[in-house]
Amino acid sequence: MKLMKKIILTAGVLVALAVAMLVLTHTAQNGVETTQILPQINPDPVYVECEEGKELAISLVAKEDFQISGFQILVVNISEESRGTLRIALMDQESNLLMNQIVPIETVTPGKWVTIAGNVTFTAGNEYFLSVLADESEPYFMQVPEGWGKELPFEETVWEEGQALAYGISLGINQVEATTVTYGDIFYYSIPTCILVAAIALLGIWVGFGRMLEGIKKVPMNRFLEKYGNDLFLILIFGAVCVSIYSRAYLKGVYISADSTGYMREAINLVNGNGFQYDGMAGYQSWFANWPILYPVMIAAVMAITNTNAYLASKLVAMFVVACILILFRIFFKKDAWIYALCVTNIGFLNLCYYTWSEIPYMLFQLGFALVLAKIIKEEKSSCWTYVILATFGMGCFLTRYYGIYVWIVTGVYILGLYYFYRKNNEKVLFHKAVKLTITAFVSGSLSVGYLGMNKLMNGMASGVSRTMWWDDYRILTNDLIESLLTEFFNIFSMQIPELIENFPFNLKVFVVVLILIGFGWIVIKNAKLFSRETVMITMAVMYYVIFICIRYVSSMDSFYFRFFEPATFLFCIGMIELLLPYFKGKKVFHYFAGVTATLVILAVMSVYDNGGMDQDDIYYEAVAAQWNQAYEEIPEKSVIIFNDIDFRASWYRPDVVDGTITPLDTMDSIRETYYGSEYLCIKAEFVETMLESGEYEQNVHAWLEDGLSAVGQEYEYVVLSLNKN
């Protein structure tokens, strides 16, 4: 009877599976496939303005026959107060209206692609006219450089006041094609799920569901995860971060600031044997002092080892630093390292990795310093080598960022604390620690001051440039501080500031910041021990915040944003995790969190691949580098470019070239004296024409420019003049 029951149940499962397969493999009626085709937009803040009441005209010449179910647009500059509309109309070359949509502007999310519905069929070779008209709003489209929208099945020309622009706008399409679609295609994973359920049901019928569960429980998965899970998760996090850096910052974007160009230019000169002279290849004595030298040295080392360009080398440096941070976590936090590794998934941390900035190696040295300092303070006795390692990490902090010298200020606070408790409790071990830390701080601090003295001698300024205060709107500066602190808090959870809070006026955002600080303060006061590792981390973070904020209000630099605060937030998060971990460790919810987190990381990596993030057909860096090659193609080696308007990000790309100016007060001798290292002077022909028309320049300079202009053909953009001193 039991056998007959199993046979009947088996037949039922197989029949149910057959019916499910029949349904899921059946072709759905009127199936179409929609493909979203988007251009690659310029990541820089460059826009095409859509002025209120002024029509923006776009002509589209179809390269093939195709059909769309709507356009995709991406616009920014939409304020909360804007309540206008955006009209998008499409006409064919016979002036037939094919589409006319009125979109309320409040329904458009700035910075995200939005679908404008409309079923239109395009015919190859025909021209179509798209018009965009804003009413009571002025949204901006992002620019799409020429050639970056080649995936689209039409040639796009944007017209502004009758003039064709040299770039497109952030406009894509939802292309539809008739296709055969089954219900299995419509409902993701439905076929394998049905097969898996049927297999489990059949196994349960013939083996027994109880025996199945017992067999699953015998699988030593818990022991395996307990032994290897931590290390496997660290490897997973490292791989995920590397994929993100390579995809976002090389294949699909270029993250270069003015500081980045200085680091990379110096790295190239180091590789070429010019030492601290970051304009050495251009023929000039220019001491590298605006920033410390260690980060360019790291980039140069990777360049020499891997034979890659400076930009890609900087991304490899970021990956190497992430690996070192994870190794430090493993050494100091043992089996709990995996949860601390989540700190490298912080939005702010990842953005630092995308850019070529010294904050990433600085954070490695700062972390190492904090961990070793905590070890010295916590342990009864530390070896001499521990103090040497502390000094090394301290020098690493300073040699990646001048601000890194603050770690010795923190050390000074702990030295005073140790001395106080020595006097109070007469514990000689505390006195010995205080003395050793004082010697370590003195030696490292002296070396740092010596480095600044070398800069002063060679450059004239200890940190390369004047840091005196420029004019600041302190209200705006304070608003930026409030916004930055809120951003740091939500970055911890890989979130943007919620719209509700983002829309608060700044005087109300102050209360949000205060509530957050009170909450953190309460947790720390309730749980922290005076000389524990987590307290050292939090103390270093808090002092970083306080000292940096004070310095910013009395000196010149960029306004507050994630780049400045992320190193402190990173330490603070590590300290808070260690503070709160005992409340969760060992509980089922903790293991569940670990599993969900690992799954999300794996899915995040998969999404990069599924979204074409690792597609190397159109490498963004190579596309930008091709533009730089074109911009510099008329510039000979060892040149000075007068009134240079080439993309500032390319200034590291040609380290043999410098920027310059000519004023009406200049003579031929002063020009040659100023640009003593260059062999040629290059200036755009249109600039030369303007200079000559002004009639303000010295007679010999005027004649020199005039002769150079007359020798240039119309096919050339630059006038190239020899600076030969003979």
Under the banding of pLDDT at 50, 70 and 90, the label for residue 186 is confident
- Which residues are CB-contacts of 350 (< 8 A; sequence separation ≥ 6)? 241, 244, 245, 248, 344
Residue-wise pLDDT for 318-352, tens only, equals 999 999 999 999 999 998 999 999 999 988 899 99
Residue 260's pLDDT band (cuts 50, 70, 90): very high
Query: For a pLDDT cut of 90, what percent of the chain falls above it?
Result: 40
Which domains are delineated in the chain? 2-28+194-219 (no CATH), 32-178 (2.60.120.820), 224-328+587-616 (no CATH), 358-465 (no CATH), 466-585 (no CATH), 628-722 (no CATH)
More confident residue, 142 or 726: 142
User: Which class for 497: exposed (0-12), middle (13-18), buried (19 or more C-beta within 10 A)?
Assistant: middle
**What's the mean pLDDT in 510-533?**
89
The band of 295, judged by pLDDT with boundaries at 50, 70 and 90, is very high
Cα–Cα distance, 516 to 72 (Å, whole number): 39
Q: Is residue 356 predicted with pLDDT exceeding 60?
A: yes
More confident residue, 715 or 167: 167
Q: Identify the pLDDT of residue 406.
A: 92
Q: What is the DSSP string of 459-528?
A: HSSTTSS--------HHHHHHHHHHHHHHHHHHTTT-PPPHHHHTS-HHHHHHHHHHHHHHHHHHHHHH-
What does the alpha-carbon distance between residue 75 and residue 169 come to, in Å, rounded to a whole number? 9
The mean per-residue pLDDT over the stretch 390-403 comes to 94
State the pLDDT at residue 359: 94
- The number of angstroms, rounded, from the C-alpha of 475 to the middle of its chain's C-alpha atoms is 28
Q: Is the pLDDT reported for residue 270 higher than 70? A: yes
Q: Pairing state of beta strands 154-160 and 718-722?
A: unpaired
**Is 472's pLDDT higher than 80?**
no
pLDDT in tens, 686-697: 999 999 998 888
| Average pLDDT value over all residues in the chain | 87
* CA angle 668–670–672, rounded 5-degree value: 70
pLDDT score of 78 = 64
What is the spatial distance between Cα 643 and Cα 658, in angstroms, rounded to a whole number? 11
Answer yes or no: is pLDDT of 473 > 80: no
In terms of Cα–Cα distance, which of 436, 336, 327 is closest to 383?
A: 436
Is residue 466 scored above 80 in pLDDT?
no
pLDDT tens digits, residue range 32-80? 788 888 888 877 778 888 888 788 899 999 999 999 989 999 888 765 5
| Pick from 332-336, 451-455, 496-500, 508-512: least confident | 496-500
* Spatial separation of the C-alpha atoms in residues 233 and 594, rounded to whole Å: 9
256 pLDDT tier (thresholds 50, 70, 90): very high
Q: How close are the terminal C-alpha atoms of the chain, in Å?
A: 111
Least confident range from 230-234, 338-342, 505-509: namely 505-509
Tell whether the model's pLDDT for residue 103 goes beyond 90.
no
Structure tokens given for 241: 């971060």
For range 555-559, the mean pLDDT: 74
**HEC secondary structure over 515-531:** HHHHHHHHHHHHHCCCC
The closest alpha carbon to 263, from 355, 354, 356, 350, belongs to 356
pLDDT digits (tens, 9 = 90+) for 580-592: 988 888 777 888 8
pLDDT in the model for residue 546: 92
Total residue length of the chain: 726
Q: What is the pLDDT of residue 80?
A: 54
What is the percent of the chain where pLDDT is above 70? 97
Q: What is the per-residue pLDDT across 130-173, written as a single tens digit (0 to 9) for each?
A: 999 888 788 888 888 877 778 889 999 988 877 888 888 899 99
Higher pLDDT, 214 or 140: 140
The amino acid occupying position 1 is M
- Answer whether 244's CB lies under 8 Å from 350's CB: yes
Distance CA 483, CA 502 (A): 9
Cα–Cα distance measured from residue 710 to residue 173, given in angstroms and rounded to the nearest whole number: 48
d(CA 698, CA 701): 5
Q: Does the structure show a pLDDT above 90 at 515?
A: yes
* 708: three-class secondary structure by DSSP: helix
